Every structure is written in C-alpha cells, then in structure tokens.
Amino acid sequence: MTLDIRPASDYPLPDLAHLLNLSFENYLVPVTFNLLQFLTMIRKDSVDLAASRVLLVDEQPAGIALIARRGWTSRLAAMGIVQSMRGKGTGSWFMEHLIREARERNDRDMVLEVIEQNASAVKLYQKCGFHSVRRLIGLIRKAAKEQMKKSITELDLREAGSLISQHGLSDLPWQLAGETIAHLNPPAQAYRNGSAMVVISNPNVEHVVIWSLLVETQARGQQLSVDMLKSLIAHHPGKTWHVPAIFPEEFLKIFDRAGFEKEELTQWQMRLVLA
C-alpha cells in the first residue's frame, strides 16, 4: 500500500465534495454535502484548498483533509478516510503530514472539533498531541412558543461578527468566531435588543439554527441572553430551534433557562500548540 498526498486545489470542486461524502460514509452522524453547501463551508469557514489535502492510496483518492486558515492558526475543518481504508494506519499517517505542513508554514496553533463519542478519532488526535480546550454541546427546543415579545431589530451580519470579536470569548470555536459569523449571508439573520444579540439561520423555515448568542461585556449578569432567546421565539413561534454541538458547555445554563433541552452528542474543542 503506497500512501501519498496532493493539494485539494488540484481537483474540481464537485470531485472534492463527492470525496468528502465518501470519506464520511457510515459516520456517527450523517455528513452529506451538495456542491452549494460545500462552497458555503469553504467561504464561511475560510477553508484554504491550497493547504487542504487529498489522501492517495496506490494513486487513488482515499481521503480528504480540509484545512481552514486565519493568521497563524490552522483548523482541521474536516478529515475523513474512505471506509475500505479505515483502521489501517492511514489516519495517523495523514495527520502527521498535516501537522508537519502546518509547522512548515509557521503556523503557531492547529485546532479542531471532534465528536466525543468517536473514541477512535479522539484517541488519534490525542496521540498527535492535541489537548482538549472544552466540551461543546448541542441543544434543541421543539415547536417553541413564548409570550415575552420585546422589540428586536435586525443587525447587519458583519456588525454582528464585529461585536462577537469584541465581546465574545477569545477562544471561541472556529464556527462561532466573529470572522465566521461575518461571512454569513442572508437568509441568515442577526437581531439585537440593547446589549443582547443573536444570529440565526433562515427564520422563515420550520427548523432554525442558532449560530451565535452574545451579551456585551458591560451588560452581563442581567439575564439579557435568556430574554433575547424568549423574545426571538415569540417573534417566530412554532419553530424548532437547533443549537449545534459547537457551543461551549458554559452556555448550558442560559439555554436551559430558555427551555432548551441538551442533546446527547457532544464534541471536544481541541488545540495543538505548534510553536
């Protein structure tokens, strides 16, 4: 078995999306990207296809690693191996090369998120030197209705991103960072009520994703985030609200007070210091 890698930028985008889907076949959770979803992820998450890699086994594509980059930090946005090549040491070989290349381009950190219940993947990343920063959780509230209906106003998504960069945690998971939120486009929406802000996916469909929840630093401790969530639900009644498993566990109390239920799937936010 001969292993090699090639830049993902050498391949057409539809081929990369297809390989990504193959590489996550029979994964713990369904992972399927159409071309539009793939392009959106590349733009929103700052995926660098020149730094991303396709794994070759005997000269045939057998895996993919998408590398996102911002400043001196790289993120392993996705890494998967086709089912027939799993459990044969290809993942370890692949990761060693990705880490070496990150060091060669003088990155200082490499970050990722991994499903906590995926024991083999967690073990691989720990073996490669990654350590856990925090647990990430997901929550849900079905067919939600609320009476509290405080006034909320729309906010430019770029301004929402700027506020997150200013007032959010300095080590937020990549997908919650201000830079990521600023790259969202409508029909995603941001809303504000005074010092509280929320960012969501398209509010005109049945299932809505909450992408960010923020209270400016000087106004914390007044339950404004809970009020913001309840007002948001009152303005869009009957929806099912999803909080993806990329939110720090510290947010649990806030969402619990707003009637959300924690889901079973959790992730580890992990970091590798390179320099």
Q: How many domains does the chain have?
A: 2
Residues 194 and 92 in one domain: no
Q: Does residue 172 form part of some domain?
A: yes
Residues 77 and 159 in one domain: no
Q: Does residue 55 form part of some domain?
A: yes
- Average pLDDT in the 172-182 region? 98
**pLDDT digit string, tens, across residues 55-100:** 999 999 999 999 999 999 999 999 999 999 999 999 999 999 999 9
Residue type, 197: M
**pLDDT digit string, tens, across residues 185-227:** 999 999 999 999 999 999 999 999 999 999 999 999 999 999 9
DSSP 20-77: HHHHTTT-SS-----HHHHHHHHHHTTB-TTT-EEEEETTEEEEEEEEEEETTEEEEE
Q: Does residue 274 form part of some domain?
A: no
* Long-range contacts, 28-35 (Cβ 8 Å, 24+): 28/115, 28/117, 28/118, 28/265, 29/115, 29/265, 31/80
Q: Give dist(CA 172, CA 188) in Å, integer.
A: 20
Q: Does residue 129 form part of some domain?
A: no
- Find the CATH number of the domain harbouring 66: 3.40.630.30
Residues 75 and 165 in one domain: no
Residues 143 and 219 in one domain: yes
Picking from 57, 66, 60, 58, the residue whose alpha carbon sits closest to that of residue 8 is 66
Q: Does residue 19 form part of some domain?
A: yes
**pLDDT digit string, tens, across residues 246-255:** 999 999 999 9
* Final residue belonging to a domain, choices 107, 126, 160: 107
* Final residue belonging to a domain, choices 107, 126, 154: 107
- Residue 218 structural domain: 139-268
**pLDDT digit string, tens, across residues 144-153:** 999 988 899 9
Q: Does residue 115 form part of some domain?
A: no
> Which pLDDT value is given to residue 15?
98
